[in-house]
Structure 1
Amino acid sequence: MNRMPRRLLAAALATAVILPGAAFAQDAASASSGHAAADAAFVKQASAAGLAEVTLGQLGASQGNSADVKQFGQQMVTDHTKANDELKSIASGKNLTVASAPMPADEKAAAALGKKSGDAFDQAFAKKMVADHQKAVALFTKESTSGKDPELKAFATKTLPTLKDHLEMAKKLPGAAGGSK
């Protein structure tokens, strides 16, 4: 009769030791997948935003009324194409999916922008560039400070100064907040 309670006690103690370790491992795995999900979300958002900037940059370069807007548009195409290619390369090595098109709201904004001309185009373009780059700076700042994947974190950190420069340049475009007319 004494043997049965000892076996139960031994089994209970073994369970008490093993289960918390298993639960901890499960929590660590779900935390890790949460970090992976955050990095995957960054890749999707950053790549979609980059595609939007290329599309909008092409519009600015071709339809801009002022030389500043045309030049800025071309720089958006050049810089964001380069960043998109680098992000795509990093993501493919990690089996992360990049966006194949801009977000629907950005596609809609580009279509509306494409219908404008002259000063109205420049003003709408400048405002869109300021808003987009404010969002991009926030997105890349978050990834550079709290991203878990070292390569994506380094990419965000490296790209952030260029995005901040774009934001400052956009603010100086004709029709932008703080820009000349």
Structure 2
Amino acid sequence: MKKTNVWVLFCSLLLSSVLLVSCDDDDEDADALMEQDRQRVAVFFQNAAVSDMFEIQTGQMAQVKGETSDVETLGAMLVRDHTLSSNKIMDMADERDIQLQMTMPAPKQQIMTRLNGLDGLPFDKDFAAVQVQAHQEAIALYEQADKEIKDAEVQAFIDETLPKLRTHLQHARDTKTKVDGM
């Protein structure tokens, strides 16, 4: 009888140690997944913040340099909506201790320099074309993040922002069509 009890005790201890190791592995896997998601969030926030900064600055240009009311209206919408988006991104990044580099990449800076050198209808045409391209890129960024990121708050932000980006893209396309016809 004692041999059976010892054997049951031994098996129980062995099974317990296997379960503990398994639980530790699960915790490590969960930690690794959380860190991977945090890194994806950081990259997304960085790219989205730069996109917002570009939209705000070019939108401000459009309000000053735009010849047509369509370009001025699009510029005002971009400044308003992307300022709100930018503020949310910065708040969420701060909550997660993610530092954002707010430096305009060289290709975007070149576009801004080019736009800044234009006036009147040439500005309007280039601005509208730039906004179509920029919003296609932003939508692709948000759609990719939507597939990869698990953070519920970031997911809610993406779900809230994507329809606005699509609306901006449609306005940019409509504006491009109008100014290209002039």
| Structure-to-structure mapping, 1:68-87, within 5 angstroms | 68-87=70-89
Query: RCO greater where, 1 or 2, for CA within 8 Å and sep 6 or more?
Result: 2
- Residue of structure 1 in register with 2:4 after alignment: none
* TM-superposed deviation, 1:23: 5.5
**1:36 touches 1:148 (CA, 8 Å); kept in 2?**
no
**1:57 touches 1:73 (CA, 8 Å); kept in 2?**
yes
Gaps of 5+ in 1: 1-13
**1:44 touches 1:99 (CA, 8 Å); kept in 2?**
yes
Gaps of 5+ in 2: 1-15
Q: Give the residue type in structure 1 aligned to 2:124.
A: D
Query: 1:100-142: per-residue Cα shift (whole Å, max 9, x none)?
Result: 2333321221011110122211111111100000011111122
Q: Give the residue type in structure 1 aligned to 2:99.
A: T
RMSD: 2.5
- Residue of structure 2 in register with 1:136 after alignment: 138
Distance 2:54 2:156 in 1: 22
Indicate the percent of aligned positions where both proteins have the same amino acid: 25
TM score, norm. by length of structure 1: 0.81
**2:132 touches 2:172 (CA, 8 Å); kept in 1?**
yes
- Residue of structure 2 in register with 1:110 after alignment: 112
Match of 2:44 among 38, 42, 45: 42
Q: Which structure shows the higher helix fraction?
A: 2
TM score, norm. by length of structure 2: 0.81
How many residues are paired up?
169
Distance 1:17 1:84 in 2: 46
